Structure 1
Amino acid sequence: MKLTVFGASGGTGQAFVRQALTAGHEVTAVVRAWSRLPLDHPALSVVVADVFDPSSLASALSGADAVVSALGPRGRKDTTRVCSTAIRSILTAMADADVRRIVAVSAQPVLRTGAGEPLWFRATVLPIVRAVFREVYVDLELMERALSASTAEWTVLRPPYLTDKPAVGYRTALEASVPGGSLSRADLAHAMLDVLNDPTTVRHALGVGRAR
């Protein structure tokens, strides 16, 4: 597949780009500056663009089979709402380029139903996390709403706290959280690759967590 990756210079984005290239995909990585992605591969193209300007994304999306967004908020107090603003721009550019498939990273606490979560976690830990990272989750909720309102073939992955540990395997839950405490970025990247070609995940949010 020909994949366009936003947030390619971040920890999750770089893990995804490496795995996608290893799997034989052609990758276009969208970054803010050339120096932000220290990777080199014959099947990798790097495009410097403004993710908030749909017109600047046209070349990055030309001929793409699917889009991956590994974008994340800049910090817990960031009120600029990077993810939701960027996803609207990306969706506009995708429509212009006739690209339909997108996989985006959100976060476990965005889930509001409590499905899959232990009662003690919902009653104690989750309210504190949502309060401390309120701006982060508002941004991600708005991102998910923008995807839901679009005509794109989207899938959202909601991981817990991410680490740089080696991959150990992952599991997913449809419209529910996966308990487990943390997940490696390598495992999240693997999950992102796997759902790209899974039609059963289209227009769904999946919890993703560490394998038992």
Structure 2
Amino acid sequence: MRLAILGATGGVGRHLVAHALDDGHTVTAAVRDPARLPVRHPNLEVVRADALDAASLKPVVEGAGAVLSGIGAAGRRDPLKPASTSARAAVEAMSATGVRRIIVVSAGPLNRSGKGQPFLAARVLSPILWAILKDVYIDLEAMERVLRDSGLDWTSVRPSRLQDGPGKGRYQHAIEAGPNRNTIDRADVARAMLDFVDDPETIGHAVGVSN
């Protein structure tokens, strides 16, 4: 399958590219600065594009079997609101080119009900994180609304606290519930996203993931 990957130079995005190539997919990686993705592979095309602009994304997503986005905020108060802005751009580009499947990275604390999460994470840690990262989470909530309203086949992956380990090669997931453990390696988030591409049960849902 040809996959279009947005945010390919980010923490999750780099793993998306690596896993997708290992799986035998053909990858188009959209990046602002190709020098930040020094990967060479016969099945990889690195394209300079602005993931926040629909016109820039149209040639990236056209013909793709799925779009995967690892885009997130650069800080606690990113004025670009990259999650929701990129979602709008991707939806417009995909609608114009007939591509339907999109999978994005969100965050575990968006599971406001606490369903499926350990008591400490749901009742203690999540409120603290909301107080610290409110603007980031509001942007992610807006992103999920954009996807819900898009009519596309979307999945929002909500990981627990992200770590930079090499990946454990396994993960747990729960549909419309929070991650049931406190951490997950970024490599395993990418693994889950790729696994969900062909999983119809995840379409139209937020999915909690953790190690």
Q: What TM-score bracket applies, with the shorter chain setting the length?
A: over 0.9
Can you give the 5+ residue segments of structure 1 that lack an aligned partner in the other structure?
none
Post-superposition CA distance 1:24-76 (Å, at most 9, x none) = 00000000111121111000001111222211112111211110011011111
Q: Tell me which residue corresponds to 2:176.
A: 175
- Relative to the length of structure 1, the TM-score reads 0.96
Q: Quick one: distance in 1 between partners of 2:125 and 2:184? A: 17
Percent identity, aligned pairs only?
45
User: Match of 1:200, SS?
Assistant: helix
Preserved CA contact (<8 Å) 1:107 1:157: yes
Q: How much does 1:166 deviate?
A: 2.2
Preserved CA contact (<8 Å) 1:108 1:177: yes
Q: Quick one: distance in 2 between partners of 1:185 and 1:118? A: 20
User: Match of 2:114, SS?
Assistant: coil
Q: Tell me which residue corresponds to 1:189.
A: 190
Please identify runs of 4+ aligned residues in structure 1 that moved more than 6 A: none
Post-superposition CA distance 1:79-98 (Å, at most 9, x none) = 33111011101100000110
Q: How much does 1:122 deviate?
A: 2.7
- Root-mean-square deviation (CA, aligned residues, Å) is 1.0
Query: How do residues 88-127 of structure 1 correspond to structure 2 at under 5 angstroms?
Result: 88-127=88-127
User: Match of 1:178, SS?
Assistant: coil
Q: Tell me which residue corresponds to 1:13.
A: 13
How many residue pairs align between the two structures?
A: 210
Pick which of 174-183 and 87-96 moved more: 174-183
Post-superposition CA distance 1:146-203 (Å, at most 9, x none) = 0001110001100011111122210100100122211001111110110000011100
User: Match of 2:99, SS?
Assistant: coil
Q: How much does 1:118 deviate?
A: 2.9
User: Match of 1:125, SS?
Assistant: helix
Q: Quick one: distance in 2 between partners of 1:153 and 1:118? A: 29
Q: How much does 1:120 deviate?
A: 3.5
